[in-house]
Structures are given as structure tokens and as C-alpha cells.
Amino acid sequence: MATRERRPGSRRFSPAAAGADLLLVLWFAFSLFPILWMILLSLKTQAEQTSTYFRFTPTLENYTTVLSAEGERITSVDFTGALFTSLVTSLGAVALSLVIGVPAAYAAGRWAYRGSGDVMFTILSFRFAPELMVIVPLFIIYNQLGLFDTAFGTIWVLQLVTLPLIVWILRSYFQDLPEELEQAALLDGYTRTRAFLTVALPLVRPGIAASALLAFIFAWNNYVFPLILTGSENPTVTVAVTRFLGGGGQAYYNLTAAAALLAALPPLLVALSIQRYLVRGLSFGAVKS
């Protein structure tokens, strides 16, 4: 692949290269337009939201409205509360998954113990199993236990999203870590716990950070769990954004756009910060880059 060697400065113009760049630009136009359009829509006033496309007087009013008590009165959606709930449940789900998942990933990455394959496969199957198979019974259980529409209930069920991710990614990191490092620490006089904490854990810190942040994104973006297992008290942002559409009669497209962007912003910022580790995470450790 000779093209691999080329640097932009040394490249001469060729029709094929220009055509390739044109195709890329076309894809990105398609890919980025909806986001740009949402930004435009979110900057329009109520009066302009349906009457104009690209020419209007921009205002940030929609954002302040969405986040204020006045917005809640108009749309009957407590968006600030939903943002807070999403933050609490996503962080909580990631924290719980780390506490449970790090030891399990370590065990699976270090020892080929009997049954480790079964445990790992079962955890992975959570990722691919249709969610409703579990949610419908959980809906009934939660109603009996009083967990319906609570942050803890959401954190518990989000383990289906965060645990497989964290366990599988971290296992691949632990597998990459030479066992002899920890053995050296044992011979230096450290107990197994201290060897793990002072040698293994610091070395997989990038993996922990990347998997935790990716898990945070997917927990934040989840919709079907809070849709069924939360009500009016503790909906997450994904549920709250859809409620803007259902508002009685009056349409608040500009507010919806502002809310959608606000809800999309945290995962986008997190994603851009861990882009280097993203592929390994998205493929559950199958593709290392």
C-alpha cells in the first residue's frame, strides 16, 4: 500500500484522490447535517420554529427555558431533574459495575479456572439479549419491591449495559499484563492484595478509565430500561426528551431540539476524550488499536 507512506505535503493532485475526498465529504455532510440542523432549530424562537429554515434571529432562550422551572411549567417535563437522575444513575451503574467487574475481570484474565468461560459468556449474553425478556418480569418485581421509578432500580438494571462492557474490556487488559509482574511483587514481600493494588491496577488504569467512561456513555444513552422502569419521579434524560414531543397539543420543536442537544452533549464530550481507546471498548476488547 504505497499510499500509506504519503504525507499530505508531498501528495500531488490526482483525480482519484480528489474523488475519494469528495466521497468522504459527502458522507460527512450526511452525517453531520442532522446535528447542525438541531443546533439551528434549538436557536429559533417559538414563532420561527416552523416558519423558517435557515434564516432567523438566533437566541439561547430555549436552553434557559428547558433548564428552568418555567420550562417545566410549559412542557410539564422536569428536564433539570432528569439530567440529575441520568448523572446519578449512570455514575452509580458504572461504580457498581467497577466494584463487581474488576475482580471478576481479573479472575478471568489471570486464571483459566473451571467455569470462567461460562461466567464470561453469560455476562456477554446480557449485551446481546433482547432487553424486554428481562424488563417485563423486572417491571412486576420492581412494583412489588417498591423499586419502580427509583434511581437504585435503574442502577441495578443498567448493570445489563455496563457490566458486560467493563468485564470484557478489562479482561482483555488484564490478559495483556504479564503475570510475572505480580509474581515479582509477591517475592518483593507484598501480599496478593497489595500486589494487585500496587502493580496490576495502576497498569490497567487506562483500561479502567476507558471502559468506565464508555460504560457511562451507554448507561446515559439507554432508553428502554428507564422507559419501562421509571415513571414521573425519576425519568432519565432520554425519556425526558421524548416527553417534549408528547406535550398536550402545543408543539415545542425548538425546546425539543435544545433538550436533545443538552442530553447528547455529555456522552459526546466523554467520547471525544477517550477516542483512542474507543475501538477496543466498542468491540468488547476484540479489536485492539
Partner 1 sequence: MTRTDTPHRPPAGEGSVRRIPARRRAFRPYLLSIPAVLLIAGILYPFGLGVYYTFLNYSAMVPEPVLVGLANYAVVLSDPVFWESVRVTLAYAVTTTVVETVLGVGIALLLFRASLVGRMLERLLILPLMIAPVIAGVIWGLMYNPQFGVLNHMFGLGSTFDWLSEDRALWSVVLVDVWIFTPFVAVLVLAGIRSLPREPFEASAVDGAGALYMFRRLMLPMMWPYILVAVIFRFMDSLKIFDHVYVLTAGGPGGATRTLQIGAYQNSMTNLNFSLGSTYMFLLWIIVFITARYLVGVLGKAQRRAAGTED
Partner 2 sequence: MSTLELRGLGARYGKKPVLHGLDVSVGDGEFFVLLGPSGAGKTTTLKCVAGLVDRADGSVVIGGRDMTGVEPYERNVAMAFESYALYPQKTVADNLASPLRSGRLGTWTEAERAARIEAVTTTLGIDHLRERLPKELSNGQRQRTALGRVLVRPADVYLLDEPLSHLDAKLRATMRAELRRLGEFSRTTTVYVTHDYQEALALGDRIGVLRDGRLVQVGTPAELWDAPHDTFVARSLGQPEMNLLPARADGGVATTAGGLAVGVDTNVSGPVELGVRPRDLTVTAGEARPEGFRVRGRVELAERLGRSVELSVRTEASGGGPGDTLIAVTDDPDVRERTAVTLSTEHSRVHVFAGSDPGAYAHRVGSARPRTDTEGEQR
49 secondary structure, DSSP code: T
Is residue 47 a contact residue for partner 2 (CB under 8 A)?
no
Q: Is 204 in the site for partner 2 (CB under 8 A)?
A: no
Size of the site for partner 2 (CB under 8 A): 17
Which residues ranging from 164 to 183 are in contact with partner 1 (CB under 8 A)? 167
Q: Does 184 bind partner 1 (CB under 8 A)?
A: no
Residue 199 binding target from partner 2, partner 1, none, CB below 5 to 8 Å by type: partner 2
In single-letter form, the type of residue at position 174 comes to F
> How many residues make contact with partner 1 (CB under 8 A)?
95
The residue within the footprint of partner 1, chosen from 79, 104, 145, 249 (CB under 8 A), is: 104
Site for partner 1 contains 272 (CB under 8 A): yes
- Told to check if 84 binds partner 1 by CB under 8 A, we report no
Q: Which one among 35, 47, 69, 184 touches partner 1, defined by CB under 8 A? A: 35
175 in contact with partner 2 (CB under 8 A): no
String of b and e for 150-175 (b: at least 16 CB within 10 Å)?
bbebbbbbbbbbbbbbbbbbbbbbbe
Measuring CA to CA, which residue among 279, 231, 220 is closest to residue 86?
Answer: 220
Q: Dihedral (C-alpha) 44, 50, 54, 59: value to the nearest 10 degrees?
A: -10
- Verify binding: residue 181, partner 2, rule CB under 8 A: yes
The smaller minimum CB distance to partner 2, of residues 21 and 188, is found at 188
- Region from 58-66, 76-84, 146-154, 234-242 binding partner 1, contact rule CB under 8 A: 234-242
Q: What DSSP assignment string belongs to 55-115?
A: -----SHHHHHHHSHHHHHHH---HHHHHHHHHHHHHHHHHHHHHHHHHHHHHHHH---TT
